[in-house]
Chain A
Amino acid sequence: MLDDADAVRDLYSDAIRGHARRPAHRGRPEGADRQARGSNPMCGDRVDVFVRLDGEGKGAPRVAAAGFEARSCEVCAASADLMCGAVPGLGLEAVRGLAHMVGEMARTGDAAAVPAEALRPLSAVHEFPSRLRCVTLPWSALVEAMERNDG
């Protein structure tokens, strides 16, 4: 049996599971022209991240829209959905910074490390070291997609 107080109830909170089961950002946004795949060969998680950038040719491009398709566990899918909701308006450097912060939060459990409140439920993963990659996989894919045509 699972204990009521088990940390697993935080990891599989309504906040996380809602995003995994009813994602707001599933699929390729209109006009998306960059994409990258994150795969974890150890567990079989696979997430494709699609992004449309605005402002090309007039300063650093920023995310106009992001979406994803995942064949993954719920933690990875929730992280992808939360990410796609959090990154519009951010340029590559800001996305890199946020990805780093999310990684740190996942590792330490320090939710305050991330300014975007919506992302904070992901901090629950810190109790599950073998699942850290589930949270960070979509973020690495997004950074990779943005870097791909950078400069």
Chain B
Amino acid sequence: MNVLTPRPPLDLARVRAEFPILSQTIRGKPFVFLDSAASAQKPRAVIDAMVSAMETQYANVHRGLHWMSERTTDAYEAARDKVAAFLGAASREEIVFTASSTAAINLVAHSYGRGVLRPDQAVVISEMEHHANLVPWQMLRDERGVELRICPITDGGELDLAALERLLADGKVGLVSVTHMSNVLGTVTPGARIAELAHAHGALLLLDGSQAAVHRPVDVQALGCDFYVFTGHKLYGPTGIGVLWARRALLERMPPFLGGGDMIASVTFERSTWAEVPHKFEAGTPPILEAIGLGAAVDWVQSLGMDHVAAHEAALTEHALRRLADVPGLRVLGAAQDRGGVFSFTLEGGHAHDVATLLDRQGIAVRAGNHCAEPLMRRLGVDSTARASCGVYTTEGELDALAEGLETVRRFLA
């Protein structure tokens, strides 16, 4: 451990005070929320932005020629600017609002997968993908014959880059679609290196940033990827909104996914023409309030500074791994060099489900199960794990409570 690690300049007490839910007690015990990787809690700024929009400034967007609609459209489009800056996009037109990361990946699988990829090409995913970055590609394979290749991970839970290179070697791969940070192992994948490898072999790269965008500064241009997706609710924003970033030229080549209002330039019974990007991909009334909430969430994390968030979580990760290593019979899955604050573990003599229930009775919320990554569970030789995950509000004291809670569980189940 590096004792010289400077303390992050994050005022944790103030950060926590902005999350009303965290002041609750659960069964008379402090609420220790270690399930942020599933969905994060919401700060006052996000709650207020959404309530305020509903109370003072709400109508449908892009339609009404009236004051209220114009103001709402401004707020909705301002959220796009915020997200564009958050990801380092070249322009705001590269940001498509979707319902979730899952919806964003499905958009790419449908539009790029069916409209641009040829059936004789292949898609590469990894062994550690969330089902959201696996099932849409299986569906594409089954429908179009596109080959689906699986890049292995090492026993330590890192992407096997040598294997990736072999999978790319025949030049048939049109798209590599991998996680930027595993929701099970916490592994952060080397996005820029993967982009180089993919491009060297004529493939594009989609990074699933559902976890990564929450914990690290992301710059899509520095990464050099072609698609990047993340979701609002893990970034302290609301549910029901996700983001697809793609290079503008790429979005322009891609056919629409969903058809309907807002995505058209003109419609006759004979034919329709499509609106400019990004609106071409935003059919129907979009998630207006959710976009406003996401904009507020982005403002909020930017006000903390993503580098400060990352430093705080790096310190938490170090602390958690040290404390968990002291719990007898506990095994943390994955040992990637570059990892974030997500810890999946098994406890000898206790099934994950039992462990989670017994932690819950102590006020400690963790997730148990296969974490929407069944193939990864099989690869790791486990049926299910318990998972603790950190957010920006997580304290070292909460991780101590987890370690002590696990000691209690172990004694209880012994």
Contacts and interface: CB of A to CB of B under 8 A. Distances in A.
A75 B368 CA distance: 15
Contacts of B362: 1-2
B358 interface: yes
B369 A42 contact: yes
Interface string A1-13: 1110011100110
Contacts of A43: 352-353, 368-370, 384
A6 B412 CA distance: 12
Interface stretch (A66-74, A94-102, A108-116): A66-74
Contacts of B358: 2, 8, 12
A44 B369 contact: yes
B377 A44 contact: yes
Contacts of B408: 1-2
Interface string B346-372: 000001111001100110000011100
A74 B351 contact: yes
Interface residues on chain B, size class: 10 to 19
A128 B361 CA distance: 10
B370 A11 contact: no
A73 B361 contact: no
A58 B306 CA distance: 73
A120 interface: no
A44 B361 contact: no
A25 interface: no
A126 interface: no
Nearest to A71: B383
Most buried by A among B353, B368, B374, B408: B353
Contact of B370 (A41, A73, A74, A131): A41
Chain A contact residues: helix, strand, loop or mixed: loop
A29 B371 CA distance: 34
Interface residues of A, number: 24
Interface in B319-364: 351-354, 357-358, 361-362
Given A44-B384, A46-B383, A73 B354 contact: yes
Contacts of A12: 354, 358, 412-413
Interface in A7-47: 7-8, 11-12, 41-46
A120 B383 CA distance: 28
Given A2-B362, A42-B369, A43-B370, A73 B412 contact: no
Contacts of B412: 2, 12
A68 to B, nearest CB: 15
Nearest to A44: B384
Given A2-B361, A2-B362, A71-B383, A44 B354 contact: no
B357 A44 contact: no
Given A2-B408, A44-B369, A46-B383, A128 B351 contact: no
Interface string B63-89: 000000000000000000000000000
Contact of A134 (B353, B361, B374, B377): B353
A1 to B, nearest CB: 6
A3 B412 CA distance: 12
Contact of A131 (B357, B384, B413): B357
B353 A131 contact: yes
A11 B384 contact: no
Contacts of B377: 44
A48 to B, nearest CB: 13
Nearest to A128: B357
Contacts of A41: 370, 374
Contacts of B368: 43
B361 A6 contact: yes
A73 B368 CA distance: 11
A6 B368 CA distance: 21
Interface in B357-414: 357-358, 361-362, 368-370, 374, 377, 383-384, 408, 412-413
A8 B351 contact: no
Interface in A63-122: 71-76
Most buried by A among B361, B368, B377: B361
B32 to A, nearest CB: 13
Most buried by A among B354, B358, B362, B370: B354
Interface in A118-149: 128, 130-131, 134
A30 to B, nearest CB: 28
Most buried by B among A41, A44, A76: A44
Contacts of B370: 41-44
A44 B353 CA distance: 9
Given A43-B384, A44-B369, A44-B383, 9 more contacts: A1-B408, A2-B412, A41-B370, A43-B369, A43-B370, A45-B383, A71-B383, A131-B357, A134-B353
Nearest first, the 7 closest Cβ-Cβ pairs linking A and B are A44-B384, A73-B353, A73-B351, A44-B383, A43-B369, A8-B361, A44-B370
7 contacts: A2-B408, A6-B361, A11-B357, A12-B354, A42-B369, A71-B383, A72-B353
